[in-house]
A and B are shown apart, each in its own frame.
Chain A
Amino acid sequence: MRAYLPDYNLRAPRSLADALDLMAREPGVWRAFAGGTDLMVLLEFGALQHKNFLSIRHLPELRGIEITPEHVTLGALTTYTHIQRDADVRREFPLLGAAGRETGGIAIQNRGTLGGNVVNASPAADSPPALLVYDAQLELVSASGARWIDYRNFHTGYKQMDMRPDELLRRIRLPRATGDLKTYYRKVGTRKAQAISKICFAAGARLASDGRIKDARLGLGSVAPTVLRCARTEDVLRDRTPDEATIKAACAMLVEEIAPIDDMRSTAQYRARVAANLLADFLVNLKK
């Protein structure tokens, strides 16, 4: 059933400072509302539990893409369309470009934001696996200051995050020097556009001159209560050549490391099998 609108409120604070001030004075009452591509769906189906929202979409402090020698920093309001249009981001962070292209259709890509994709905390989100591979860091701001945290430590359980009720995600920072990282992105869904992932697989690795894997990074979606950086599987791959024995060992570890479930979109068995197949595909192609 549709929500009864008078139960809800959406305000547009004049500035980031005003938003943070309100969130500090009434902690837990106000929640950020960015592109609305998830929240409006919940509202329409009468499933939006929270009642009071702050529209942050117009705040310039949360917008824009900034490039320094060390980092590319994306405002939390960066949309999937912005990512695809930015030539530097596309070149240096191709996994993000791929995630942007494969999220929703054009209309969703125009409204949905990277920050929203992170904070909405869906384990089936399509950009977080890419952010995990790029060792993204998040800047959380509140009236009492700002802190940077590693994104891989951000999700602590299903829809649980290392984020206080008075905090707002302001920026996402990606370390540069990704040039020799060989990357791989596959979203598996029922349909190319719009479909929510059955599994989302993002990976990157560097090869040493002797052909051994120096730096393997695996970010997976829809295989656990949170998006997952698969550190134990990465350990298996480190300093080994991507030969048949390595691939077999890594796939076995990956299946152990993930915790997929049966749901309306797929089954645990299918997800585990496809996760392993995608890892094998990534590793086989690494040598080419």
Chain B
Amino acid sequence: MTDSGLKVDVACTVNGARQTLRVHPLARLLDVLREDLGLTGTKEGCGEGECGACSVLVDGELVNSCLVPVLQVEGAEIKTIEGVSARGAELHAVQQAFIECGGAQCGICTPGMVLAAVSLLANIPQPTDADIRNGLAGNLCRCTGYMKIFDAVVRACERAGVKA
């Protein structure tokens, strides 16, 4: 009746490299990144879009990769934590600020937090405190109590000379 179970080809760009993936169309982008491409920086927390640990950028937009079927990234540009700073280059200002402010403990939420912060600064270059809280509200951390993560985002803004 249908081609159930058959894999399909999905072409997309991941961290600047073109990829053609042979995948089940409903496979989670999260699993394809981690298992097919070995990009294990993207973490799985809840698997239901509540925690933000699996956040990546698809065409510049923050998404929960556990909720994106891979068929829907056909033709898209994906950026994961591995691609946030250019290969061999310095860390992204947000990553550097997380280190300096102690914005990470166990590390599971950190890639998602960094992506959420990168996305926030791309959309709102001069965020208010409320903007920062809203921008990170979809990302849960069970270690830090959030303040050091918040401080890191503030520092990243200051570094760029843009904090409102």
Please report A residues at the B interface, Cβ cutoff 8 Å.
5-12, 29, 33, 35-37, 40-41, 43-45, 51-53, 55, 57-58, 81, 101, 104-108, 110-111, 192-194
**Chain B nearest CB: distance from A122 CB in Å?**
14
A9 nearest in chain B by CB position? B4
Find out whether the CB atom of A40 lies under 8 angstroms from the CB atom of B67.
yes
Measured between alpha carbons, how far is A57 from B75 in the docked complex, in Å?
13
| Nearest CB on A from B128, distance (A) | 15
Assess whether A5 is in contact with B26, with CB atoms less than 8 Å apart: yes
Would A36 and B25 count as touching, CB distance under 8 A? no
Residue in B25, B48, B119 whose beta carbon sits within 8 Å of that of A44 in the complex: B48
Question: A26: shortest Cβ distance to chain B, in Å?
Answer: 8
Complex CA gap A285/B63 in Å reads: 37
B138 lies within 8 A of A105 (CB): yes
The 0/1 profile, CB within 8 Å of A marked 1, for residues 124-164 of chain B is 00000000001101110000000000000000000000000
Which residues of chain B in 87-125 are interfacial with respect to chain A, using CB atoms and an 8 Å cutoff? 116, 119-120
| A193 vs B71: C-alpha distance when bound (angstroms) | 28
User: A8-B24, A9-B25, A41-B48 known; 16 other A-B pairs, CB under 8 Å?
Assistant: A6-B4, A6-B24, A9-B4, A10-B69, A12-B71, A37-B64, A41-B47, A52-B4, A55-B25, A55-B72, A57-B72, A106-B120, A107-B116, A107-B138, A111-B63, A111-B67
Q: Of A12, A29, A108, A193, which one neighbours B64 at CB under 8 angstroms?
A: A108
A190 to chain B, nearest CB (A): 12
Min CB gap A201→B, angstroms = 21
Q: Which of A11, A29, A111, A192 contacts B25 (CB 8 A)?
A: A11
Would you call A5 and B61 a contact (CB within 8 A)?
no
Query: How far does the alpha carbon of A81 sit from the alpha carbon of B120 in the complex, in Å?
Result: 13
